[in-house]
Amino acid sequence: MKGKLFYIVVLLLQAPFLWAQEDVQLSTELDTTNIRIGEQLQFTITIEVDSAAQVFFPEGQTFAPLETVEAYKTDTTKKEDRLLLLKKYALTQFDSGTYLLPTQRIEVDGRGFFTDSVLIKVGDVVVDTTKQKMYDIKPLIEVDRNYARIGKFILFALLALLLIGGLIYWFYFRKKPLTQEEEEAQLPPYDRALLELKRLENSRYLIQDEFKKYYTELTQIVRAYLEEDVQVAALESTTTQLIQKMELLKDSGRLNINENTLEQFEKILHTADLVKFAKSKPSTSLAEEDRKAVELIVIKTKEGIPEPTEEELRETEAFLEEQMRLKKRKKIRWVIAAAVTVLLATGITLVASYGPKNVWDAVAGHPGKVLLEGEWVTSDYGFPPITLETPNVLVRYEPELPDTLKDSLLSIQAFEYRSDETLFYVAAHSINLTNQAEPMFKESVDQALKMFEDEGARNIITKQEEFTSANGIRGARMYGSGMFQIPDSNKTVKGKYSIMLFGGPGFQQIVVLSWLDNDTYTSEVADKIMRSIVIKTET
């Protein structure tokens, strides 16, 4: 049994499985069936179909108990009226043992095609403690705080401030439509008293024999009028006290009213007292006559009030204006205090959380911060394509090349983006060479450095190291620093640059970056772009 299993594994590694059903040809391939814990194996599905067919490959964790690390993009090659689709998966497992790679279903125009299941052996990583030294656990390492949320925090604070301002305007400054009660309350005391007496006339108190409510409201109307218009304490006075106060006003000349009117008023008040406190019940006609008499008393009292002098009018008007100003100032102070409180609380919280520099950069709109935290774009450039994620789309341009290089180039496709505000620069070059020549890395680096020098860069320092793209393609990286010239100025600032080079027989791909040395934001932008580089050597 073990011999048969070994034979199957050997066949699996040496030649892919192949099925054929009508016009569909399916094959699979594994690069290995033995891995160590955490290592990855490549599982490849190749299918040839008609060019009009719809093909759906497995998605998600369909390879359990193996874990899907990455499902690469489908490579498509067209052969006349046929399509050859190649789908790769990176799989792994973090526990030792033998695992079954399950059958996978590939759907072509609604029909299912299945791969064979395969046993995968995951071995332990042997550690020889006699040769491999044991070390203590490494201490915690401080990392830079992520400031990506500070802009959103400030935006939310501003929105909260606007909301508070809107609420204050809505409830304090907006001219709200008045209700009928509010409109009546703003009427002069004389007009309001006549309106309330008219409403009392149309009430149903007398029809329902509610004389107590009728006389209570009748005396309340006239007492309120006297208190507001005649300036006499009428609401809290007894009948006798009120009549005495009105006689004093009459004798002092502050109220021109005859004695008969006062006597009639006193009689009505006594009747009201009997109804309210002694449960007296006058006739309906007498109650109606008393209301008409009170209306006449209000009219005569209004006519008996002396006209105010010009000085009194000015004092009254000035007093009202001063009251309005004080009221308005109080509202403005309240609004300012609320706004300052919100701003201070927001500012203190932001500074405590992110530091003053980052808060200021977010408020002032630091151009490097805008680049880093804006919406990035992922796109392919040139052929063979270079995939980059950048703050803005790179724009095609025609580079200036020396004559010594032109004869070696079959074609060059160049794209760039430049930000003069931050002195940030990124470019991508995809080059096809004549006669399947080897890549010209040195010439390309010299050309990039010459471009920096032509733009005013000085004292350029160069270093070299190996570089691997995001999809595992190895290349070289030339990097360093120098003094870069500020556009439209003779001043120079310290900057950094990085040149990533990839290639093979007949082609070459280059990514060039430069940024300010002391700008943490553009440094993060450059790092993020370098981590996103995906190199393809074919379509």
Mean pLDDT over 443-457 rounds to 84
Q: Find the range with the poorest average confidence among 66-75, 172-181, 197-206.
A: 172-181
* Calpha distance 458→456 (Å, rounded): 6
Least confident of 219-223, 460-464, 489-493: 489-493
pLDDT (0 to 100) of residue 159 = 80
Nearest to 22 by CA among 58, 47, 1: 47
Q: Does the pLDDT at position 136 exceed 90?
A: no
How confident is the model at residue 96, as a pLDDT? 86
Residues shown for the chain = 539
Q: What is the 3-state secondary structure (H, E, C) of 103-163?
A: CCEEEECCEEEECCCEEEEEECCCCCCCCCCCCCCCCCCCCCCCCCCHHHHHHHHHHHHHH
Distance (Å) of CA 175 to CA 183, 323, 339: 13, 18, 22
pLDDT interval class at 175 (50, 70, 90)? low
pLDDT-derived band of residue 419, with 50, 70 and 90 as boundaries?
confident
Residues 330-385 have pLDDT tens digits of 777 777 777 777 777 776 776 666 566 565 555 555 777 888 888 899 999 988 88
* pLDDT value of residue 539: 46
Share of the chain above pLDDT 70, in %: 83
pLDDT at position 146 is: 55
| Cβ atoms of 128 and 40 closer than 8 Å | no
pLDDT for 272 equals: 92
Number of Cβ within a 10 Å radius of residue 462: 13
Q: What is d(CA 111, CA 53) in angstroms, rounded to the nearest whole number?
A: 11
Q: Grade residue 12 by pLDDT with cuts at 50, 70 and 90.
A: very low
User: Would you say residue 74 has pLDDT above 50?
Assistant: yes
Residue with more model confidence, 353 or 391: 391
Q: What is the model's pLDDT at position 109?
A: 86
At residue 24, the pLDDT reads 84
Contact by Cβ (8 Å): 501, 444: yes
pLDDT at 252 (0 to 100): 85
The whole-angstrom separation of Cα 89 and Cα 91 is 6
Which pLDDT band holds residue 89 (cuts at 50, 70, 90)?
A: very high
Query: Domains in the chain, ordered, with CATH?
Result: 2-123 (2.60.40.10), 180-304 (1.20.120), 367-535 (3.40.1000.10)
75: left (phi over 0), alpha (psi -120 to 50) or beta: beta
Let me know: does 93 contact 65? Beta carbons within 8 Å. yes
Q: In this predicted structure, which of 73-87, 177-191, 438-452, 475-489 has the lowest mean pLDDT? A: 177-191
Task: Give the per-residue pLDDT at 10.
Answer: 41
Q: Which one has a higher pLDDT value, 296 or 159?
A: 296
Task: Please tell me the distance from the alpha carbon of residue 113 to that of residue 104, in angstroms, as a whole number.
Answer: 8
Task: Provide mean pLDDT across the span 194-207.
Answer: 90
The pLDDT > 90 percentage for the chain reads 21
DSSP state of 438: P
Q: What is the pLDDT of residue 217?
A: 92
The mean pLDDT value for 247-267 works out to: 88
> What band does 511 get if pLDDT is binned at 50, 70 and 90?
very high
Q: Is 0.95 topped by the overall pTM?
A: no
Tokens found for residue 163: 């909301």
Q: Which of 194-203, 350-359, 405-414, 421-430 has the lowest mean pLDDT?
A: 350-359
Q: Which residue has the higher pLDDT, 24 or 161?
A: 24
